[in-house]
Chain A
Amino acid sequence: MKTGYEKIYERPDTLLSTRMHYCPGCMHAIVHKLIAELIDEMKLQEKTVGVCPVGCSVFAYDYIDIDWQEAAHGRAAALATAIKRMLPDRLVFSYQGDGDLAAIGTAETIHACNRGEQFTFIFINNAIYGMTGGQMAPTTLEGMKTTTSPYGRLAKTAGMPLKMCELVSQFDGVAFAQRVSCNNPANVRRTKKAIQRAFEIQQQGLGTTFVEVVSNCPSNWKCTPEVSLQKVKEEMLPYFPLGVYKEPRS
């Protein structure tokens, strides 16, 4: 460090020095970093249990230095329910992608929200199956080309993309639901605040908390990270509007 300067930001301690396997520009890594920063700031490293899904973020336990449990595909909500009921003093969150939370795990997600389980969903919505090579997901936008919809998603045969935040905010058990994105620095800061609020509401025991992050997938959208951010802004955000969908009743 040069003299006359102070360090105002460094890599959070909870984020291990392991090199992440994510593609360059992937927002999974940004969200990992935000979670690690929050766990550092809230001093919850010893009290946090995460549930990793199957998907690109399957190796999350290698990157964030907290207790983790690996769930079967789609069953993260069921596992998080069990962990929170057995260890009610812990901060529990599930970290899931759209294939995991909105496709194979829809039943677990909806019923956990309906029961008002006291844990946090962190839902990364990048409109595609990333790990398996870019197949169509329930959240794939209409007209978007994927390996299983080479002419673009047709609403007639595949329906319209699922809006999970709107869906879960209808349940009485859900205390907090917010949709955020990470496409620019202001939105990244908002994402951090949203996750922090979700963790605080969970600690107060008010109900299920749900944070949806509208994300990118440069590799499977077949574009550069720069173009992927433009696509998030121009194509994803008009269909997935950002905002707070549910606040706890005061």
Chain B
Amino acid sequence: MPAKGYVEIDKEVCKGCNLCVLNCPTKCLALNTTDTNSHGLHYAYQADEEKCIACMNCSVMCPDAAITVYKKTE
């Protein structure tokens, strides 16, 4: 199934609380446990872009408003 949307996560704003990963219904987000941002925190990233349905659950839950959501136009 082609992607209905995708998200961009500002890794410098992300604190790695994992709330977006937990609330993603299609499990397309993941926490990067091998790399850290400049604050020394793990950050979330979109691991599987094909699964994103642009439901905005991640951006609704994100405490630090680090997530921008894009939806396919047609």
Contacts and interface: CB of A to CB of B under 8 A. Distances in A.
Interface of A: 1-2, 4-12, 15, 19-20, 22-30, 33, 36, 184-185, 188-189, 218, 224-226, 229
A1 B70 CA distance: 8
A25 B19 contact: yes
A28 B65 CA distance: 12
B47 interface: no
B61 A7 contact: no
| Smallest CB-CB A-B distances: 10 pairs | A29-B63, A25-B17, A24-B17, A24-B15, A9-B69, A5-B70, A11-B65, A185-B57, A225-B17, A9-B59
Residue among B6, B60, B68 with the highest chain A CB neighbour number at 10 A: B60
B57 to A, nearest CB: 4
B69 A188 contact: no
A91 B23 CA distance: 33
Contacts of A30: 61-63
A228 to B, nearest CB: 10
Nearest to A26: B63
B56 interface: yes
Contact of B5 (A5, A22, A189): A5
B28 interface: no
A9 B56 contact: yes
A225 B5 CA distance: 27
Interface of B: 5-6, 13, 15-19, 22-23, 41, 54, 56-57, 59-74
B73 A4 contact: yes
A5 B6 contact: yes
Given A225-B17, A225-B18, A22 B70 contact: no
A234 to B, nearest CB: 15
Contacts of B15: 23-25
A24 to B, nearest CB: 4
A5 B13 CA distance: 23
Contact of A29 (B23, B64, B70, B71): B64
19 contacts: A4-B73, A7-B69, A7-B70, A8-B5, A9-B68, A11-B65, A15-B65, A24-B15, A26-B63, A27-B63, A29-B65, A33-B63, A185-B57, A185-B60, A188-B60, A189-B60, A218-B17, A226-B19, A229-B19
Given A4-B73, A9-B69, A185-B56, 17 more contacts: A1-B70, A2-B6, A4-B74, A9-B67, A10-B68, A19-B13, A22-B63, A24-B16, A24-B17, A25-B19, A26-B63, A27-B63, A30-B62, A33-B63, A33-B65, A225-B17, A225-B18
A12 B65 contact: yes
